[in-house]
Amino acid sequence: MWDSLWINARLATMVAGATPYGAIEDGALGIKDGVLVYCGAAADLPDRPGSLALGVHDAEGRWITPGLVDCHTHAVYGGDRAAEFEMRLEGATYEELLKAGGGILSTVRATREASLDTLVARALPRIDALIGEGVTTIEIKSGYGLDIAAETTMLRAARRIGELCPVNIATTFLGAHALPPEFEGRADAYIDLVCQEAMPAVAAEGLADAVDAFCEHIAFDTDQTERVFQKAQELGLPVKLHAEQLSDMGGAALAARYNALSCDHLEFLSEEGASAMAKAGSVAVMLPGAFYFLRDTNVPPIDLLRRAGVPMAVSTDCNPGSSPATSLLLMMNMAATLFRMTPEEALAGTTREAARALGMAHQRGTLEVGKAADLAVWNIERPAELSYRIGFNPLHCAVRDGDMTLR
Ligand code: DI6
Ligand code: FE
């Protein structure tokens, strides 16, 4: 007997191939031990629903998609940056604020002051907002601690959230996010600390599933980024990169050489960068919330990525400075309106390709037999509605690893 069976469902399996959205119109999903054991036409079920599963759910014709995956967030942090937002509206730029000790560094101060419990408590409403939209997997980065104690506390807070909430958490060590004030003028010495002490400590405790860096003229250059990647490789941790957000540093091509899971932002990505990513199979993570909030004008080269065959994900970049966003559905709308991604690309970008960007493609991101039973059930008539609306949540209920989380 299966644990549960969904019938009367329209499935957007998001399996790439024959039909748009991998759609199965009169579909059924069977679940056992948190895993999909049936995914296909209801007509092909081997028996009557009642004799197949302990619990039978009637989706009443609703669409079911894979649970959404938010593959790039900085959802754990202390304080907020609303005052800085006001200053930007009075004329200051993002880069000026950072140089004046504000920006990321003001969040670093607030994060260092916060206890693990406070970090968790402050993050929970953001996590709940994401879960409320059918998100079943969230990546959370460190990067606002910038010393060993505060970075590990951030990562522990992220792991704790995974224990408290019905959501899968992937953690990423982002020690090379910004230069902490005590290392002013000594970026290489800080990278020494990241590589020789912080990363090994994080790896020894199993606190990070991947390693990220911010390669930018206001953060770290390609040599420093490469040192971080070398150490990550040595420790057996996959890498990803904040690349070409504000300028073309050649970060994407560098990351591709280290088989990066993803390169993220990419507003200034070059043709060489795109083809290197295609060869390495790195996912391009689009972050339209940051583009919008910083009033960026350089749209990431979507057509180039399409032509090169680079998979594209879409994420919130949930963070206090450049994207205080906790709606992945809104990001899908922005990916369509601002970046001209199609609604199908946007949904693939928050399911299949987002899972791939986390190295979880074998486990999550599509509705397929053998994958985790992570589902979002929607009150919509067609999948394009998920990208179409602005600030409307049509979620009916969600299932994570076979358990109903929200209804
Ligand atoms: N790029 C971003 O958009 C965030 N981090 C990064 O490297 C912004 C982080 C912040 O402003 O707090
Ligand atoms: Fe980011």
Ligand 1 centroid from CA 386, angstroms: 26
Q: Are 77 and 119 in contact (CB under 8 A)?
A: yes
| Gap between the Cα atoms of 386 and 371, Å rounded | 23
Integer angstrom CA distances of residue 269 from 154, 220, 266, 300: 30, 17, 5, 7
Q: Which atom of ligand 1 is nearest to the CA of 103?
A: 11
Ligand 2 centroid from CA 242, angstroms: 6
DSSP conformational letter for 244: S
Q: Which atom of ligand 1 is nearest to the CA of 104?
A: 12
Ligand 2 centroid from CA 69, angstroms: 15
Quick one: which ligand is closest to 225's CA? 1
pLDDT reported for residue 407: 59
Contact residues of ligand 1, CB 6 A cut-off:
103-104, 107, 177, 214, 242, 245, 290, 317, 319-322
What is residue 163's three-state secondary structure?
A: helix
Q: Which atom of ligand 1 is nearest to the CA of 177?
A: 7
Quick one: which ligand is closest to 319's CA? 1
Q: Which long-range contacts (CB under 8 A, 24 or more apart) does 36-44 make?
A: 36/367, 36/368, 36/369, 36/370, 36/371, 36/372, 36/373, 37/2, 37/369, 38/2, 38/5, 38/369, 39/11, 39/13, 39/367, 39/368, 39/369, 42/7, 42/8
Please state the length of the chain: 407
Question: Pocket of ligand 1, candidates 266, 322, 323, 331: which has the most ligand atoms within 8 Å of its Cβ, to mutate?
Answer: 322
Nearest-CA residue for atom 9 of ligand 1: 321
Q: Which atom of ligand 1 is nearest to the CA of 98?
A: 11
Ligand 2 centroid from CA 214, angstroms: 8
Of 359, 335, 277, 360, which is closest to residue 311 (Cα–Cα)?
277
Structure tokens at 185: 């003028």
Ligand 1 centroid from CA 290, angstroms: 8
Of 87, 127, 91, which is closest to residue 106 (Cα–Cα)?
87
DSSP conformational letter for 149: H
| Gap between the Cα atoms of 384 and 344, Å rounded | 7
For the chain, helix (H) and strand (E) counts, in that order, are 17, 16
Q: Which atom of ligand 1 is nearest to the CA of 214?
A: 7
- Residues within 5 Å of ion ligand 2 by Cβ? 317
Integer angstrom CA distances of residue 263 from 44, 255, 285: 41, 7, 6
Ligand 2 centroid from CA 370, angstroms: 31
pLDDT reported for residue 96: 83
Ligand 1 centroid from CA 60, angstroms: 42
| Gap between the Cα atoms of 140 and 208, Å rounded | 10
Q: From first to last of the 407 residues of the chain, give the pLDDT tens digit.
A: 999 999 999 999 999 987 999 999 999 999 999 999 999 999 999 999 999 999 999 999 999 999 999 999 999 999 999 988 988 899 988 788 877 778 889 999 999 999 999 999 999 999 999 999 999 999 999 999 999 999 999 999 999 999 999 999 999 999 999 999 999 999 999 999 999 999 999 999 999 999 999 999 999 999 999 999 999 999 999 999 999 999 999 999 999 999 999 999 999 999 999 999 999 999 999 999 999 999 999 999 999 999 999 999 999 999 999 999 999 999 999 999 999 999 999 999 999 999 999 999 999 999 999 999 999 999 999 999 999 999 999 999 999 999 998 65
